[in-house]
């Protein structure tokens, strides 16, 4: 039983692209109520359910409270865009690094489509800063966005640090016309 229907979007995406491997470290941004984290826990084996497979790590973050889940470590009342959260993640992740960053984050919709679009794109851009701090070279980022005029800017920024960037429209989200995902793979850590 999943906490929320959004689980099916991640399941569909992961069935196709096989992002979540046993043993992987995952950061789930905007994780409440925790359905994506439930999927991640199963697929990376972070609860150690299959003793023959490597045990992964799942860390979920949300401004809201996330009810506890076996196999996941949750940072409730945390802002993903806050550098203090990034520092905490580095402490919690094995070797301070993640294989995958997931983001199903969304701002509270104002109802003004352009404004909501721009706010979510800004949040997605902050994930690129997070990636620079925690994402392993070769790692992946999956992020939800609402399509609009700034989508292209986000795609270009992603393309500057990931070798492969594609747009995904999961079947499970077909009812929401503006909702899409970018799947960015093969992270290339920028030299600083
Ligand atoms: N993927 C989740 C699941 O399957 O249960 C559903 C996520 S829900 C669509 C979006 C979440 O993003 C909300 O819970 C919201 O509080 C969170 N969020 C929005 N802005 C955030 C931020 N700056 N930092 C952390 N979480 C944020």
Q: Are 58 and 73 spatial neighbours (Cβ–Cβ below 8 Å)?
A: yes
Query: How does DSSP classify residue 178?
Result: T
Q: Tell me, yes or no, whether 81 lies in a domain.
A: yes
**Mean pLDDT, rounded, for 183-187:** 98
pLDDT of residue 190: 80
Q: Tell me, yes or no, whether 20 lies in a domain.
A: yes
pLDDT of residue 170: 81
Q: Ligand 1: which atom is nearest the Cα of residue 123?
A: 23
Q: Tell me, yes or no, whether 1 lies in a domain.
A: no
Ligand 1: distance of its center to the CA of 51 in Å?
31
Q: Return the best residue to mutate from 106, 121, 179 for the ligand 1 pocket (most ligand atoms within 8 A of CB).
A: 106
**Mean pLDDT, rounded, for 141-155:** 97
Q: Which domain holds residue 31?
A: 7-187
Q: Could you tell me which of 63, 60, 146 has the C-alpha nearest to residue 100?
A: 60
Count of domains observed in the chain: 1
Instruction: Provide φ and ψ at 72, rounded to 5°.
Output: -120, 150
Tell me whether residue 189 is one of the annotated catalytic residues. Answer: no
Q: Tell me, yes or no, whether 49 lies in a domain.
A: yes
Tell whether the torsion through CA atoms of 132, 93, 107 and 1 is positive or negative.
positive
Ligand 1: distance of its center to the CA of 166 in Å?
22
> Between vectors from CA 101 to CA 17 and to CA 31, what angle results, nearest 5°?
105
pLDDT class of 191 with cuts at 50, 70, 90:
confident
How many angstroms separate the CA atoms of 73 and 57, rounded? 8
DSSP 140-170: EEEEEEE-STTHHHHHHHHHHHEEEEEEE--
- Indicate the pairing of strand 25-29 with strand 162-168: unpaired
pLDDT class of 137 with cuts at 50, 70, 90:
very high
Q: Return the best residue to mutate from 30, 65, 173 for the ligand 1 pocket (most ligand atoms within 8 A of CB).
A: 30
Ligand 1: distance of its center to the CA of 79 in Å?
10
pLDDT class of 78 with cuts at 50, 70, 90:
very high
Residue ID of nearest Cα to ligand 1 atom 20: 107
Helix (H, G, I), strand (E, B) or coil at 57: strand
CATH (domain of 32): 3.40.50.150
**Mean pLDDT, rounded, for 50-64:** 98
Q: Could you tell me which of 96, 166, 79, 83 has the C-alpha nearest to residue 135?
A: 96
Kindly tell me the burial class for residue 16, based on how many C-beta atoms sit within 10 Å of its own C-beta (0-12, 13-18, 19 or more). exposed
pLDDT of residue 192: 66
Q: Tell me, yes or no, whether 172 lies in a domain.
A: yes
Q: What distances in angstroms separate CA 33 from CA 7, 61, 73, one per listed residue? A: 11, 10, 13
pLDDT of residue 111: 86
Q: Tell me, yes or no, whether 118 lies in a domain.
A: yes
pLDDT of residue 58: 98
Residue ID of nearest Cα to ligand 1 atom 15: 30
Q: Tell me, yes or no, whether 2 lies in a domain.
A: no
Query: pLDDT tens across 155-180, in order?
Result: 999 999 999 999 999 887 766 678 99
pLDDT class of 141 with cuts at 50, 70, 90:
very high
Q: Ligand 1: which atom is nearest the Cα of residue 61?
A: 25
């Amino acid at each position: 039983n999943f906490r929320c229907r959004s689980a099916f979007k991640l399941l569909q995406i992961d069935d196709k692209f096989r992002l979540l491997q046993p043993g992987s470290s995952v950061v789930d941004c905007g994780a409440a109520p925790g359905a994506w984290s439930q999927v991640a826990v199963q697929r990376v084996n972070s609860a150690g359910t299959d003793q023959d497979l490597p045990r992964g790590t799942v860390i979920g973050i949300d401004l809201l409270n996330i009810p506890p889940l076996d196999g996941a470590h949750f940072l409730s009342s945390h802002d993903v865009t806050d550098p203090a959260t990034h520092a905490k993640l580095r402490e919690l992740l094995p070797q301070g690094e993640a294989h995958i960053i997931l983001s199903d984050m969304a701002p509270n919709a104002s109802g003004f489509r352009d404004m909501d679009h721009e706010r979510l794109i800004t949040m997605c851009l902050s994930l690129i800063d997070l990636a620079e701090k925690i994402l392993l070279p070769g790692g992946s980022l999956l992020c939800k966005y609402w399509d609009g005029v700034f989508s292209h800017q986000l795609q270009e920024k992603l393309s500057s640090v990931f070798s492969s960037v594609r747009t995904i429209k999961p079947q499970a989200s077909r009812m929401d016309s503006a909702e899409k995902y970018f799947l960015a793979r093969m992270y290339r850590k920028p030299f600083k």
